[in-house]
Amino acid sequence: MFTWLKTRWHRTGLTAYLTHSDCLKHNMGVGHPECPERLSAIRDQLMAAQIFDFLQEVEAPLVTAQQLARVHPPRYVEYIEACAPSVGTFRMDPDTAMSPGTLEAARRAAGAVVKAVELVCEEKAPNAFCAVRPPGHHAESAKAMGFCFFNNLAVGVAHALSHYKFERVAIIDFDVHHGNGTEEIFRDDPRVMMVSIFQHPFYPYSGDKPMGPNMHNIPLKAGSTGREFREVVENGWLPALHDFQPQMLFISAGFDAHREDDMGSLGLVESDYEWVTRHLVQIADLYCQGRIVSVLEGGYDLSSLARSVAAHLKVLSDA
């Protein structure tokens, strides 16, 4: 186990909490698990736990065409725009649909991560959490899938690399589903290292064979609990992160590996999310001047999602 006697970076200021009411307007239909109530449940829990007092809420801007183009070809963006319905829904695949509010929500979700990067890199916030939807880590450079349209986190990573000229950025993904889109976008990019866990075999049925040497994908069997997860972090993630010495951390923060979330079959609980966040904060303090941008991905049981986000943000904000 890795421990530190002290951190090398003293964090000041309030954690940025980026969101927008437009993210509530994306609706894929009655009964769909990726629902607007997810964001409302998170807000309610943060307020009840008095964690909101330790956050600065920031309105997510719309992503620009230039920012999207670093990750998604313009023809793909034009296709998404053309698919946006004025009424009803348009299905991109059996699980992923656009409603009249989807395009603006997706633009806000990607824009939130870009803004979070700017706030953290310009020392206007010690770190940031993007409470946005639709999620993004399944979106490939030219393919919408798995509830995702734009790869929000990837857009933010590309902004950090291009605008702030970072040489080493690390992505951590603990969603129950493999972040296939993020891997496809950054495979073989030596500036980016990705460490992840995910249930396997499981949707999207990839990740067990990494696409590049910069991808550290560690599949977990159905039924794995926090014990197996912590072993992966201690024996896989942390050594890789120490070797890489990233200058900034990005977290694909999916909470559907919680034991109460029937979207998957892993057994994590709030204390596991709090534990891993503490380790990631320590890595960021050692190598990144504390810079972390965390982005909401999955998590579909409203109660466990809200409690898990609160545990995550309790650590990020020092609440």
| Rounded (5°) CA angle 75-78-79 | 85
Burial of 295 from C-beta contacts in 10 A (0-12 / 13-18 / 19+): buried
CB 136, CB 114: distance < 8 Å: no
Query: What is the maximum alpha-carbon separation in the chain?
Result: 58
Q: Which residues pair with 84 in a beta bridge?
A: none
Distance, in Å, from the CA atom of 282 to the CA atom of 16, rounded to the nearest integer, reads: 19
Nearest to 124 by CA among 262, 12, 28, 278: 12
**Collapsed DSSP state (helix, strand, coil) of residue 70:** coil
Kindly list the catalytic residues.
Answer: 138
Nearest to 120 by CA among 191, 245, 15: 15
Q: Is the omega angle on the peptide bond into residue 61 within 30 degrees of 0, that is, cis?
A: no
CA of 21: how far to CAs of 107, 149, 158, in Å? 12, 18, 25
Chain centroid offset of residue 7 CA:
24
Percent of residues in the chain assigned helix, strand, coil, to nearest 5: 40, 20, 45
The strand pair at 96-98 and 90-93 is best described as antiparallel
Q: Is the omega angle on the peptide bond into residue 201 within 30 degrees of 0, that is, cis?
A: yes
